[in-house]
Amino acid sequence: MTRPFTVGLLALQGAFREHAEAFARLGADVVEVRKPAQLDDIDALVIPGGESTTMTKLMDAYGFPDAIAAAHARDLPIWGTCAGAILIAREVEGEGRSARLGLVDMTVARNAYGRQVASFEAPVNVTGMETPFRAIFIRAPRIESVGPEVQVLASYEGHPVMVQQGAVLATVFHPELAKDDRVHAAFLGLARKAHAAA
């Protein structure tokens, strides 16, 4: 690689700026991705939290689903947070097989942590971290089931909250709001490893 490691943040809607700050603190280059052609010039892609229905409409309008599927097929590391995790799930409960991206073999239920506790924080133990990560959940989807290829890296109350399948990472919480860059560092680590293996 002749240029610095570059993380693309899908910047159609949602919390992408906070991700940019975290990656910048870790010394990665960051670009905001607004056109599918930009996927050719990045080393990893983040699909941020936001509102998954709105994000789906915008992705469709700009032609992102096919472009992301092609990038995934050539092993571009991808991380979805919250709404982004919904978009990369194989299935969304009540909506059937996802017409979105389907990159991780998991079923998610949107807004499934209940109205009263729609947003909350909880310490979660993450594989590879020595102390718990303070996870911020905001109208988070709940991962109801995962397939055999999926590695569960953290759980909360019996449900996975951080999972990995190949070079794809999903978190249903918001690490970019935590003032703790360890999940971003873990994603950079897995992305760099995926490139080294390619």
* Residue carrying structure tokens 């050539």: 74
86 vs 161 by CB, closer to ligand GLN:
86
Residue from 119, 105, 128, 106 nearest 183 by CA: 128
Q: Smallest distance from the beta carbon of 50 to ligand GLN, in angstroms?
A: 5
CB atoms within 10 A of CB 97: 10
CA distance 151 to 65: 24
Distance of CA 81 to the CA centre of its chain: 4
Q: What mask, x for binding ligand GLN by CB under 6 A, covers residues 71 to 90?
A: -----------xx--x----
43 vs 176 by CB, closer to ligand GLN:
176
Residue 44: helix, strand or coil by DSSP?
A: strand
Q: Smallest distance from the beta carbon of 111 to ligand GLN, in angstroms?
A: 5
CA distance 85 to 101: 10
98 vs 194 by CB, closer to ligand GLN:
98
Scan residues 92-131 and list those touching ligand GLN (CB under 6 A): 110-111
Scan residues 15-74 and list those touching ligand GLN (CB under 6 A): 49-52
134 vs 139 by CB, closer to ligand GLN:
139
Binding site for ligand GLN (CB under 6 A): 49-52, 82-83, 86, 110-111, 138-139
